[in-house]
Amino acid sequence: MADDLTKLLVTGNWMEAPRFLTSGHELLDQAGFSLERRKRAAIALALLFPADLCRKMHEAEDFGLVLPLFAPTWPLMVSYLLEVGIDLADADPWKDDQLIQRLRTTPEFDEAAFELRVRASLVRSGYAVQKIPEATHRTPDFLVQRDGLDCELEVKFANSSALEKFVRDRASPALMHGMNHVNGFKFKLFGDELLEDKALDAEGLRELELDLPNMVRAFADAGKSIEGAPRVGKFDVPGYGFIEVEAASHGLAEISPLVFPEQDDRKRARRVFDLIAKSLKKGQFSGRRDGIFVVGVFHKASLPLVEDAMWEWASKPDRKLKPTQMIVLVDNFKSSDYRYTQVAYPICTRRHRSLTKAQLRLARAAGGDCHARAELMRRAQSGEPGLRLDTGRSNLSTVKLAEVKMPSERSRITFRFDGTPPEITPLVRDSGEEV
């Protein structure tokens, strides 16, 4: 099977054996991707990621973006690509060369996919959407019209901050990799106050990035000294922080790197609104029509706090929200095992005014996805129960299950949490089973 995957990656022709197009994928069906919808998405994805492009991505070792098209991974791993395929089919944006190129580039994919999603969602809801060509001056993304509503629309996407990217992509994996596992104990790695202050400052963060190898070594050395006589307690890591050791309830070894602090809620909200503020300062809209921002927040900040950041910014001298009439903040929450409900938090930028029905209808459409329009959300009133979306960082932990020597033949490896060693069972070639 590994040989078959290697062959597909070398040729780049994922359409030769697209596993997600076979029947019997109940998880994909439950997630809203029927076989008919998957086939429709595949036609568009074949244009977006042709074999020659996938082959070049594989040769450049940058094929993680398209790997779910090739590999028999967890079925829902391909969901984000199926969404893009359906949106491409509905929006028909193939003349937008810049968007297509961004969708093919890993660092720009998420932002481009959200812009495409907004466009496709509006088209699905009956809006006429016209892409506004790039010019030497600032221009919005789209001209949107329906039932007398005529507006300019700009799409923004809140990427992770530099600190979040550093923690997720470099620091946490390096710190976890540098530590040895001790069965029966959970190691929590914390930074000291000086480290926290540095991490929240741009220049200090650059220093920490350069110093990361020394930090990893310091925590690893402290971990080795604990490993010699493991016990519950708090152990200093000179110059960086400390390690807190707890008994692991599952009896296995666990490591959680919690070295770097999160930005407080208001700072994160201001950072999201800065996307809009910068555009307003540069004259994003022409002024001939109402301007509307649609911002993909997706757990990067509290939506009501972003609204607070807007009013705080607008209260300063020489700052105007006009001609912006509405800002739509887009987020989601898990509503079932395999589905997310999209939410739109529309903000009227004119004090003591309310949004019109037409504007609210547009907010629901722009915040939707390939499954449905968004549900409208507003700030909960005092004493009113509300839905709180998680905006905290997803902290990573590693749990060591066992040490296993890679079998020489195709096998199933079964891990149990009862302290018994893994069970390795060779698979019969004609059994049709996959590993």
pLDDT tens per residue, range 139-167 = 999 999 998 899 999 999 987 767 778 88
The one-letter code for the residue type at 189 is L
Residues 167 and 134 in one domain: no
Does residue 317 form part of some domain?
A: yes
Given a cut of 90, is residue 168 above it in pLDDT?
no
Domain assignment present for residue 98? The answer is no
Average pLDDT over residues 190-196: 84
Q: Which two tokens stand for residue 83?
A: 């969404």
Do both 217 and 131 map to the same domain? no
pLDDT at 435 over 50: no
In single-letter form, the type of residue at position 280 comes to L
The total of structural domains in the chain comes to: 4
Backbone torsions φ then ψ of 347, nearest 5 degrees: -120, 125
What pLDDT shows up at residue 434?
44
Q: Which of 166-170, 340-344, 350-354, 407-411 has the lowest mean pLDDT?
A: 407-411
The answer to whether residue 194 sits within a structural domain is yes
Tell me the mean pLDDT in the region 309-331. 94
190 and 287 belong to one structural domain = no
Residue carrying the six token digits 């076989």: 35
Considering the domain architecture, whether residues 49 and 171 belong to the same structural domain is answered as: no
Residue 70 lies in a domain: yes
pLDDT of residue 368: 97
Least confident of 36-45, 116-125, 138-147, 384-393: 384-393
Task: Evaluate if residue 324 carries a pLDDT over 60.
Answer: yes
CA angle 320, 114, 108 (to 5 degrees): 100
Q: Are residues 155 and 174 in the same domain?
A: no
Least-confidence region, from 12-16, 33-37, 368-372: 12-16
**Residue 332 is part of which domain span?**
110-159+263-399
Lowest-confidence pick of 41-50, 57-66, 157-166, 401-410 = 401-410
Task: Map residue 317 onto helix, strand or coil.
Answer: coil
